[in-house]
Amino acid sequence: MTIHRRGSRRKNRTRGQALVEFALVVPVFLLVLCGILDFGFMLYSRMTVINASREGARISITAANRTTIPSLASGAVLNNVTALNSALITTSTSCVAIKTSGSCNWSSTTSSQAGDAVSVTVTYTYQTFFPLFFGSSIPMSSTVQMVLE
């Protein structure tokens, strides 16, 4: 009979040991899982900002009326960032004089011509879910420059 009691005690101890190991491992596992999720959403936001700036520049270079380029670029950017918080997105558009000898602007169609470039910059502030890892907000920016057609 004593042998039987010792065996049952050993079995009960093993269950307690597994519970302690589980209690020690679960918080670390959840912390790593939360970090992976936050990093994945941050990477998705970064890719969205890059694609939005590219799309804004692409729409801008094909504009028939060059005075509407800033509004076209801003609209294209906002159409491509629907999954992000649009209140945290800013778009700036500028003309880069490459072909002309002076500066170019959007006020008249003669000051910018084919060969000049459009530069679209999109900035976004990513708000993290778990500020323990990366901080509470991370600024992101992407600039794309394309030549006017």
pLDDT in tens, 9-49: 555 566 688 888 999 999 999 999 988 999 999 999 999 99
pLDDT in tens, 85-137: 989 999 999 888 876 666 676 666 556 677 788 899 999 999 998 887 678 89
pLDDT bucket at 67, cuts 50 / 70 / 90: confident
pLDDT at 81 > cutoff 70: yes
Structural domain boundaries in the chain: 2-147
- 51: its two tokens: 């694609």
pLDDT at 91: 94
- 2: its two tokens: 């004593």
pLDDT at 116: 83
- 59: its two tokens: 């729409």
pLDDT at 66: 77
Average pLDDT over residues 68-91: 91
